[in-house]
Amino acid sequence: HAWEFARRPIDVMALADFWQQNGRIGTLTELIEFDLVRNLRERRPRTGDPLTDGDARLGAEALAAGVIFCGEPSIKVSDANLGGAGLDGRLCLPASFTRDQFDSLLVRPVFDGASFGRVRFHHRRVREYLAASWVNKRMAAGCSLDELDGLFFDRIGGRRVLRSSRGAVAAWLCAGGEAWNAAIRRWLLEAAPSLNLRYGD
């Protein structure tokens, strides 16, 4: 899937940098993490940046989860008319996020440039990976298996059925050694056994 990371000239530079540092293309997880470190920073660094690297990552994960679980791929920018389609991303972010931090986050290269007052994540796989990272943190904070199950699956005729719009995120959650990782692997084996051949790493 490395071609996904070569759509813009600046993306190709990131791939070349990874190659120069590591002498290989890398796993999908490694490419995404490398891409995120670069693309969650300002294009032109300045003094007085309202976001730390950690805040930018936290905010991006929350927005990715909002986009996936609300089923709305676009995020409204704060100075745009908030009518019509698009997710109000401010409602997805931690309460500590300021308006300046929100505005600063939406102009980071992890998003495409604003169009009609809305932005989207540049890479679908990055969005899915970030949403999975958000779920991972919720599970580490004590989210229950029942909540995890309900987030990704329905029941039809007594059988577990995957919510297809969330399948790519579920695939990322299969990796890991926690009991809940094993549970979601079992559930996906029951409901969508071929999923990990298409998504995740």
23-58, pLDDT tens digit by residue?
988 888 888 898 899 899 887 777 778 999 999 999
Distance from C-alpha of 198 to C-alpha of 168, rounded to nearest angstrom: 8
The vertex-56 CA angle with 50 and 61, nearest 5°, equals 150
Residue 187 C-alpha from the chain's centroid: 22
User: For the residues 133-158, what does the mean pLDDT come to?
Assistant: 96
Query: What pLDDT shows up at residue 13?
Result: 78
Of 149 and 116, the one with more pLDDT: 149
Instruction: List, for residues 141-150, the tens digit of each pLDDT value.
Output: 999 999 999 9
For residue 121, what are the β-bridge partners?
111
Closest CA to 25 of 2, 7, 3: 2
State pTM to two decimals. 0.89
Mean pLDDT over the full length of the chain: 90
Q: Report whether pLDDT(108) > 90.
A: yes
Distance from C-alpha of 108 to C-alpha of 81, rounded to nearest angstrom: 21
Q: Report whether pLDDT(137) > 60.
A: yes
Residues whose CB falls within 8 Å of the CB of residue 103, separated by 6 or more in sequence, listed in order? 77, 78, 79
Distance from C-alpha of 120 to C-alpha of 114, rounded to nearest angstrom: 8
Query: What pLDDT shows up at residue 5?
Result: 67
Closest CA to 182 of 151, 131, 133, 148: 148
Query: What pLDDT shows up at residue 82?
Result: 54
Percent share of the chain, pLDDT over 70: 93
User: For the residues 94-123, what does the mean pLDDT come to?
Assistant: 91
Residue pair 166/151 in contact (Cβ under 8 Å)? The answer is yes
Backbone φ/ψ region at 178: left (φ over 0), alpha (ψ -120 to 50), beta: beta
Q: Which amino acid is at 37?
A: V
Residues whose CB falls within 8 Å of the CB of residue 33, separated by 6 or more in sequence, listed in order? none
